[in-house]
Each structure stands twice: as structure tokens, then as C-alpha cells.
Amino acid sequence: MKIVVILKQVPDTETKIKVKADGSGIETDGIKYVINPYDEIAVEEGLRLKEKLADDSTVTIISVGPARVIESIRTALAMGADDAVHVNDPALEGGDSLATARVLTKVIKDHGFDIIFAGKQAVDLDQAQVPPAVAELLDIPHVNTVAKFELAADKTKATVSRRIEGGDEVIDVTLPALLTCEKGLNEPRYASLPGIMKAKKKPVKTVTLAELGLEANQVGAAGSHVKILKWLPIPERSPGKILKGMETEAAVKELVRLLREEAKVI
């Protein structure tokens, strides 16, 4: 099987993010970047499927982004993926979810696929839009937030389970299909030292917009329908208030006033 995993590089969740003074984006200096945590789960599931099949199946990582993304790609290769495609072109800057999905779709079509794994969402923008858009553009089934996965013996379909309010939803999906991965599906492995050494020699194909055959008005800011107007820092929380030295009745009245006039919750 050709197993494809979509990977995004995101800022480490423990990194302190600072918004630029003009609100045009975030300060990137000093930021540590990592594989999107949900995409790590997708990589692990692809590797487990390959290991279970124990045949000539391959796991290919596909990622879009600047040169720094190669570090996260190499991490996925060190985990056990076979090869990767890295789309790196300045024209892709500022692309929304649909523009990014167009790029990924073209790469995946050119490569070929039997099943695609992706994280349920990226932890930077939390939009959860790219994988479903890729599935739509490829005209294949898509199931999101998968917590259990089992491939049928004939490899033509899979049974997946997703958590819903009050229980689990079990779905039979025909392959090829795109599945987004949720926490609990697996526990991603750490890259071993031999894996890290092998990853240095594994093939990573870097492609540009021209090589993909896409027009400039289909990708990046030019091909986007959504534009981020301004980035704003999270406002600091005002300090809490403690009512001291008041009789109970007066304290209750003051509390109600604060909830109504300042907190505006009643």
C-alpha cells in the first residue's frame, strides 16, 4: 500500500508567542518548531499499518512550508517513514486552508495513494480545514477525529471509530480514504539513534510551484479566500477581587453588582 501522511510544522506549545507590533504576524525569532502533535499520531498510525502489513508498503511524508520544515520531516523519517516530499516556494506564503489543500492535493495525486493519514487539526491555528479540503479535492471519503483504526483483510476498506457525545461512532469506510487522527489512537514512538542516522540518507524531494504545474493565482495569498486582517495578543486577565470586611448581605449585593456591571455575566 502507498500510505501518505500529511505533516505540518508548528511552534512548540511551550514556546512563548509574541505578536508583531504592527499585528501582521508573530515574531519568529527564537521560536522552537516541532511536528504538529496530532500529525505525530498520524505518522505513528501510518508506520503501524506498514508494520502490520509486513509487505512492500511505504509511508511517505508530505509537507508544505519554508526550509525549516525539513527538520520536522527528518524527525518523521527517523521515526520510520520511507521518504518525503517537501513543497517549498515563496509564492505559497499567506495561503489559507483551501490554497494549501490545492498544493497538497497535487502532490498526493502525483505520488499516488491508497490511504492518507493526517492530524485532526494543527495546534497553531486550530482550524481543522486542510485535510477535509484535500479529501474533497481528491473526491475520496473522509472521516475525522479517528480514535480506532482497523484495516480489512482485503485492504479495500477500513473500520474506524470516533468519539461522539455519549459513546463511540463506528464507521466502515471504503479505500482510498483520508482519516484524521485523534489523541488515543496510538502513542507516537520516539526516534531511535539508528533511526536518526538512517533518516539522513532517506530521500526528500523538494518541489516548487513551477514543478507542480500550479498557477500562482491558485496558491498562497493570491489563491486564498480568507485573509487574516490582524493578529492580536491575548489580553491580560485583570486581577480578581476579594470582598473583605463586609457583612454577608452587603457582600452579596456587591458581588451581584460586580457580576452585572463589570463581569456582565448576569
Number of Cβ within 10 Å of residue 68's Cβ equals 12
Alpha-carbon dihedral sign for residues 68, 28, 31, 61? negative
Q: Phi, psi at residue 136, to the nearest 5°?
A: -65, -45
**How many angstroms separate the CA atoms of 223 and 101, rounded?**
11
pTM: predicted TM-score of the whole model, two decimal places: 0.86
**Domain regions of the chain by residue span:** 2-223, 236-266
Q: Is the pLDDT of residue 64 over 80?
A: yes
pLDDT > 90 in the chain, percent = 76
pLDDT at position 30 is: 86
Q: Which residues contact 18 (CB under 8 A, 6 or more apart)?
A: 26, 27, 233
SS3 track for the chain: CEEEEEECEEECCCCCCCECCCCCCECCCCCCEEECHHHHHHHHHHHHHHHHHCCCCEEEEEEECCCCHHHHHHHHHHHCCCEEEEECCHHHCCCCHHHHHHHHHHHHHHHCCCEEEEECCCCCCCCCCHHHHHHHHHCCCEEEEEEEEEECCCCCEEEEEEEECCEEEEEEEECCEEEEECCCCCCCCCCCHHHHHHHCCCCEEEECHHHHCCCHHHCCHHHCCCCCCCCCCCCCCCCCCCCCCCCHHHHHHHHHHHHHHHCCCC
pLDDT at position 43 is: 99
Q: Is the pLDDT of residue 236 over 90?
A: no
pLDDT averaged over every residue in the chain: 94
pLDDT at position 29 is: 86
Q: Is the pLDDT of residue 117 over 80?
A: yes
Q: Is the pLDDT of residue 116 over 80?
A: yes
pLDDT at position 237 is: 79
Residue with cell 505533516: 7
CA-to-CA separations, 91 to 10, 88, 122, 141, 156, in angstroms, rounded: 19, 9, 21, 30, 38
pLDDT at position 168 is: 93
Q: Phi, psi at residue 178, to the nearest 5°?
A: -115, 130
pLDDT band at 86 (very low <50, low <70, confident <90, very high): very high
Q: Is the pLDDT of residue 16 over 80?
A: yes
| Range name among 71-85, 120-134, 207-221, 226-240 with the lowest pLDDT average | 226-240
**How many angstroms separate the CA atoms of 5 and 184, rounded?**
18
pLDDT at position 57 is: 97
pLDDT at position 31 is: 92
pLDDT band at 147 (very low <50, low <70, confident <90, very high): very high
Question: pLDDT tens digits, residue range 221-232?
Answer: 999 999 888 998
pLDDT at position 115 is: 98
CATH superfamily of 2-223: HUPs (3.40.50.620)
